[in-house]
Amino acid sequence: MGARRWRNTGTQRRLDKERGAAITTQPASTNAGSAAKGETRFCMKRAFVFPGQGSQAVGMGRVLAATFAPARQVFAEVDDALSQDLAKLMFEGPESDLTLTENTQPALMAASLAVMRVLEAEGGFALARKVAFVAGHSLGEYSALAAAGSITIGDGAHLLRLRGQAMQEAVPVGEGAMAALLGLDVEQGRAVAAEAAGPDQVCAVANDNAPGQVVVSGHRQAVERAVAIARANGARKSIALPVSAPFHSPLMAPAAEIMAEALGRVALQPPAVPLVANVSAIATHDPATIRRGLVEQVTAMVRWRESMLFLKQAGVEEVVEIGTGRVLTGLAKRIDPALSARAVGTPTEIESLIKEL
């Protein structure tokens, strides 16, 4: 078990080395083709980001479906792919079923892609012309890839259903846990996790979300020790998270193997714009690199803070969260207050964005 823990660390060291020379440059402003002759129109350089687990809520997508036919079409496509009335579960609950990770994951993708479809149908929006990068938090990476045309909606739904099932089944219920360590940076979080881990117990940093917001994951007893150690070492707050499995830890290795096999059967296309990957915090168009990253992210840390800093360094001026909730909007503002961030998930928010594009 200890060897698995260090395999994850080795992956991150490799990715750290790759990151140094990987800034993708695109102009922050262009002459828009629709501008009047002789007029220069400024185009803000944007990134679209897609939320992960924790953003779900009963009622998600219901107003979009009631308002826009293209949104209803997306929900119908996901329902058909899964042979399940997932839309009804999203709109009406019960919450206990919606929060099952095998349902949560495709549901969040469906909500995000419904927003994208409405932007395209109602506003003539084209991702490749208006957005510089996409990124997604954990499962949101699949939403980002579907939005960018790298995978189909049907494949995304199937993969996320399988991902949720495989992650839940990787560790017996009750053996794993996750906890948020507030007030510690990622290096402090790694030190806490290393001290908390035992010879046969894993504890690793699962999410580097923002300055002062680190999540650890692993065996329940090791995570409980991490909470106590963090509190004794100056953490402002350390709290156990209400999750069903120790996501983004080496304990998820069986799920990673299942996803490697499943992803090997899916045709990934180069995305319309570069994906900033969770595992590397750098941008890529390459389907093979994307496929490898989707497998590695099951057991690896989500490098969200670094991903947002990458976007800022690459000239992005605004981060737009597409889908349900405002979690990523809040994180972006904590990571860099100078980085503009907004959430787009309601008809009013969609209308406002369309007017600016």
Q: Are residues 64 and 202 in the same domain?
A: no
Q: How confident is the model at residue 22 (pLDDT cuts 50, 70, 90)?
A: low
Pair 98, 124 in one domain: yes
Same domain, 148 and 216: no
Enclosing H/E stretch for 174: none
Q: Domain ends where: 240, 262, 295?
A: 240
Mean pLDDT for 212-218 is: 97
Last residue within a domain, chosen from 184, 209, 240: 240
Q: Is residue 68 helix, strand or coil? A: coil
> Residue 23's pLDDT is what?
47
Distance CA 355, CA 357 (A): 6
Confidence of residue 42 (pLDDT cuts 50, 70, 90): very low
Q: In the block, which residue shows the tokens 């909606």? A: 153
Q: Which of 143, 244, 248, 307 is catalytic?
A: 248
CATH number for 137: 3.40.366.10
What is the rounded average pLDDT of the residues 33-57? 71
- Nearest CA among 334, 65, 341 for reference residue 208: 334
- Looking at the chain, the whole-number percentage of residues with pLDDT higher than 70 is 88
Is 129 a member of any domain? yes
Question: Do the domain assignments include residue 178?
Answer: yes
- The token pair at 304 is 């969200």
In a domain, 33, yes or no: no
Is the domain of 263 the same as that of 230?
A: no
158 catalytic per annotation: no
354 vs 242 pLDDT, higher one: 354
Per-residue pLDDT at 108 exceeds 90: yes
Angle at 298 (CA atoms; ends 266, 107), nearest 5 degrees = 70
- pLDDT score of 200 more than 50: yes
Asked if residue 245 is part of any domain, the answer here is no
Q: Could you tell me the pLDDT band of residue 63, with boundaries at 50, 70 and 90? A: very high
16 and 138 share one domain: yes
Q: What is the pLDDT of residue 243?
A: 86
- Averaged pLDDT, 78-82: 98
Let me know if residue 125 belongs to a domain: yes
For residue 196, the tally of other CB atoms under 10 A from its CB is 25
Same domain, 157 and 199: no
Query: 182 with 308, same domain?
Result: no
Name every residue whose Cβ is closer than 8 Å to that of residue 76 and which is 6 or more positions away in sequence: 87
Do 152 and 285 have their domain in common?
yes
Least confident span in 11-20, 63-72, 210-219, 225-234: 11-20
Q: Say yes or no: 47 and 182 in one domain.
A: no
Question: What are the phi and psi torsion angles at 83 (to 5°)?
Answer: 50, 45
What is the average pLDDT value for the chain, to the nearest integer? 90
Residue range of the domain that includes 221: 174-240
Do 181 and 146 lie in a common domain? no
Whether 138 is a known active-site residue: answer yes
* 136 and 117 co-located in one domain: yes
pLDDT at residue 10 is higher than 90: no
**pLDDT classification of 142: cutoffs 50, 70, 90:** very high
pLDDT tens track for 157-185? 999 999 999 999 999 989 999 999 999 99
Question: Which pLDDT value is given to residue 43?
Answer: 65
Q: Which runs of consecutive H residues, i.e. helices, occur in the chain?
A: 2-19, 62-67, 69-82, 86-92, 95-98, 101-123, 127-130, 140-147, 153-169, 186-196, 220-232, 253-264, 287-296, 304-313, 327-335, 347-356
pLDDT of residue 16: 52
Indicate which residue of 112, 138, 249, 280 is catalytic: 138
Is pLDDT at 4 greater than 60 in this prediction? Answer: no
> Which pLDDT score is estimated for 18?
53
The whole-angstrom separation of Cα 176 and Cα 171 is: 7
Q: Where are the alpha helices (DSSP H) in 93-219?
A: 95-98, 101-123, 127-130, 140-147, 153-169, 186-196
CATH number at 228 reads 3.30.70.250
For residue 38, being part of any structural domain is answered with: no
| Interval 16-22 mean pLDDT | 51
The pLDDT-based confidence of 17 (bands split at 50, 70, 90) is: low
pLDDT score recorded for residue 319:
98
Whole-number Å distance between alpha carbons of 218 and 246 = 5
pLDDT, position 37: 39
Based on the fold, state whether residues 196 and 100 are members of the same structural domain.
no
The total number of structural domains in the chain stands at 2
pLDDT category, 14, cuts 50, 70, 90?
low
pLDDT of residue 244: 83
Tens digits of residue pLDDT in 322-340: 999 999 999 999 999 999 9
- From the list 328, 324, 321, the residue with the least C-alpha distance to 302 is 328
Domain end among 202, 218, 240: 240
Structural domain contains residue 31: no
Q: Examine residue 164 and state whether it is found in any structural domain, yes or no.
A: yes
For the segment 263-268, the average pLDDT, to the nearest whole number, is 97
